Amino acid sequence: MSTSKRKEEAEEAIDSINKRTGRNMPQAIGTGALLVVLILASLLMSVDVFVGLVVVFMILALWELRVDFATVGIRIPVLTLWLASAVTLVSTYAFPNHIAAMSATVSVALVVVALTASTRLSMVGRRVSMAVASKLSNADAQMREFSSFNVDAESHQVARLTNVSVSLFTMMYVPFLACFIVLPLTWEHPVAHAFFLVFVPSLGDIGGLVFGAWLGRHKLSPRISPKKSVEGLLGSILFCFLGSLVIFLITYDQAVWTSRWWVTVLLGVLVGVVGTFGDLCASMLKRDLGIKDMGHLLKGHGGVLDRVDSILMAAPFICITLAATGL
């Protein structure tokens, strides 16, 4: 067989995989490997560096949401949200009473975000306009037609109320949920907790992708996400369990393992289900906005928010499980 023939067959195989998974898999694998190296390097340096990395990722996710909402005329005060995110996450990590710091900063941030969103301070800049134009040029016409959002130029009051409500949703969706990534880092075994919080939901995404593309026959929610399947959900649960098991075995001593081995099963089921639910929520938001991807900053992953949606949704459940079981 000639080299050109083999190359052509390889390209056809890759195209087939890309169609079944709905993403550019070579790009996704390369980006995913780079993210793993970045996370591991930050944890090797110190937990403080990892917290800084979390803050950066949340800021990037907020930027992507800023562009996504701007495609339907909704404006969120991204500068205020950036500041609120940084202050909330750093305070939750640095202050001695972590839960009190989280509660206080989130409460103040919600008020400030609401006030800022109700003004005209969140204007659309040139960079946002260019990003919106690029996103709309790649949008599916049918998806845009069935978008739930409509810009009402005649009703200024409704437009302001929409800006406020969406801004508050953004605050709760990104910075608030991210606090549950930072909070377990203040307990014993912070590196193990970071692995649980970041890698277990990510492994769930991989398990869902692999099993969905390989065995997916029964659609989980065809209206919201046609590519999600029951088989993918089961694969997600399996990979979450295996990931939890490996992390548990390499980070805790035998005494803890023998008495609390069942936590890995609980985390597998819990994170697999919640992570899939987080993906479905993100898919529903995309359909309501009439866009294909939440962002564009991570090649092959549909953006930062598409990469962290399952992590954000699973973080409170992992945090509560770790606290309740004494891990």
Residue 166: both structure tokens together: 């969406």
Q: Please answer whether residues 170 and 76 qualify as being in contact, where contact means their C-beta atoms are separated by less than 8 angstroms.
A: yes
Cα separation values, 271 from 5, 78, 312, Å: 43, 30, 11
Residue 273 CB burial class (10 angstroms; 0-12, 13-18, ≥19): middle
Residue 22: both structure tokens together: 């709905």
What's the pLDDT score for residue 155? 42
**Full DSSP string of 57-121:** HHHHHHHHHHHHHHTTT----HHHHHHHHHHHHHHHHHSSSHHHHHHHHHHHHHHHHHHHHTTT-
What's the pLDDT score for residue 53? 93
Q: Which residues contact 255 (CB under 8 A, 6 or more apart)?
A: none
What's the pLDDT score for residue 153? 38
What's the pLDDT score for residue 203? 87
User: What residue ranges do the domains of the chain occupy?
Assistant: 24-325
Its pTM stands at: 0.82
Ordered per-residue pLDDT tens for the chain, 327 residues: 555 555 555 455 445 555 554 555 566 666 667 888 888 899 889 999 999 999 999 999 898 888 888 888 788 899 999 999 999 999 999 999 999 999 999 999 999 999 998 886 555 555 665 556 565 555 554 455 555 555 443 444 446 788 899 999 999 999 999 999 999 999 988 999 999 999 999 888 888 888 877 776 777 666 767 677 778 888 889 999 999 999 998 888 888 888 888 999 999 999 999 988 887 887 788 777 777 766 666 554 556 887 788 899 999 999 999 999 888
